[in-house]
Amino acid sequence: MSDQIEQFDVVVIGAGPAGAVSSSLLNKKGHRILVLEKQHFPRFSIGESLLPQCMTYLEQAGMLEAVQASTFQHKNGAAFSRGEEYEYFDFREKFSAGWGTTFQVQRDSFDKILADEAQKQGVVLRYGHSVIACDSVNGERQLSVQTDTGERYQVQAKFVLDASGFGRVLPKLLNLEQASSLTPRQSIFTHIQDNIDEPDYDRNKILITVHPQHHEVWYWLIPFSNGRASLGVVAPTELLSKIQGSPLEQLQTLVSQGGKLAHILAKAKYDSQVRALGSYSCDVTRLYGENYALLGNAGEFLDPIFSSGVTIAMTSASLAAKAVHKQLSGEQPDWEREYSEPLKTGVKTFKEFVEGWYDQRFQNVVFSKKKSASITRMISSILAGYAWDIENPYVKNPARLSTLAELCQND
């Protein structure tokens, strides 16, 4: 690499969904964009069950056609199982306007499609390049970059967007990290050859299963279009530590206790690496600062229960791209009002429902037999990712969930 400092309008750290969408949107506005990605694509990632709200952002970024041309599994809702109870939400029957269907995706190929589309549109993308320092120099950001072959170089940008996900590059470099208010939990997950032959099993929906004895333990089953599926369990760290064996043995033990899930996966073949992620919830002291902003998981990650991660990431990408374009055009955006506050509207909604899931308020709602059609549509909208639609009473005031849970408990 040359000793000369390269100049870009915006450097985006990370080429996942938030990085691909934000870089595409800014590139479309005529800005010169560099994306630096530490890993090489395709690579494994979780967060495989998209929400319909994502489709809007894929459209904005000009990437939807490429995704639709793939063979990803169609998705139209979310199903919930607990013991013998079974309920589902059809995302096509929702309160908010917008897409009612989406896809369940293997993230290695999905993320590669988005990154490839960004490159085709003119975004400069470099794999195997890590940001190791980020300094403020003459009103801009100067980044020190190291390649995976050990070379180092510097880049100067008018603005930096951190879309590094769990890598959380800027929170670490700029000392922005803080603990999440959510209870620490651990997840164990893998991909399986599911061999499901249940005639009434619906591959068009993610299946969320509650452990019959431990309401705070739940499983996801995300079917793909090729007979494979993503399978994972989330449990308190303390409970998992009491289960003997390797991560695979722990996962299989818990699945065997999963009621209907155990029956559905009776013929499953566990043929892939089992991975674990502990204390995954995280937060930051602020989402933006001097010529930088944090996108998606680089800011706050809640919990995988409602598959909100990619939707929050893409929403942050869209909001930030508008503010960055405004700033690069000579205006001064109000980052609190135009980015942080709008983003937190949806995060706050999801957070209330995450907390309600674990304290059983939302589980009471899900498995209630007496939900009205209008309430069901409002809840369906949030589960479909429309957590920013303030016309929805449960977005405007997420605490209404407690009142609804009490009503459902008294059915």
pLDDT at 386 over 90: yes
For position 189, what pLDDT does the model report?
Answer: 97
* Averaged pLDDT, 99-114: 98
Q: Are residues 211 and 297 in the same domain?
A: no
- pLDDT at residue number 183: 78
Based on the fold, state whether residues 64 and 159 are members of the same structural domain: yes
293 and 157 co-located in one domain: yes
216 and 274 co-located in one domain:
yes
What is the structure's pLDDT at 282?
72
The answer to whether residues 220 and 303 belong to one domain is no
Same domain, 28 and 150: yes
CA–CA separation, 98 and 163 (whole Å): 25
Cβ(63)–Cβ(361) under 8 Å? no
> Domain check: are 385 and 268 in the same one?
no
CATH code of the domain covering residue 210: 3.30.9.100
Give tens-digit pLDDT for 126-171: 999 999 999 999 999 999 999 999 999 999 999 999 999 888 999 9
Asked if 268 and 195 touch (Cβ cutoff 8 Å), the reply is yes
Is residue 401 a contact partner of residue 356, using CB atoms and an 8 Å limit?
A: yes
Residue pointed to by tokens 């599911």: 194
**In the predicted model, is pLDDT for residue 323 greater than 80?**
yes
Mean of per-residue pLDDT scores for the chain: 94
If asked whether residues 392 and 338 sit together in one domain, one would say: no
In a domain, 355, yes or no: no
pTM for this prediction: 0.95
Domain that holds residue 269: 185-278
Domain boundary, last residue among 261, 278, 295:
278
- Distance (Å, whole) CA 27 – CA 165: 21
Q: Tell whether 258 is covered by a domain.
A: yes
Looking at the structure, tell me whether residues 197 and 217 fall in a common domain: yes
Last residue of a domain, one of 243, 259, 278: 278
Q: Is the pLDDT of residue 279 over 70?
A: no
Which of 278, 42, 321, 317 is CA-nearest to residue 166? 278
Say yes or no: 115 and 30 in one domain: yes
Q: Is the pLDDT of residue 355 over 90?
A: yes
Residue 94 lies in a domain: no
1, pLDDT greater than 70: no
Indicate whether 50 pLDDT > 80. Answer: yes
Percent of the chain with pLDDT over 70: 98
Q: In what order do the strands lie in the sheet containing 77-82?
A: 85-90, 77-82, 205-210, 218-223, 228-236, 185-193, 275-278
For the chain, what is the domain count?
3
29 and 147 assigned to the same domain:
yes
pLDDT tens readout for residues 224-244: 999 999 999 999 988 988 999
Residue 208 lies in a domain: yes
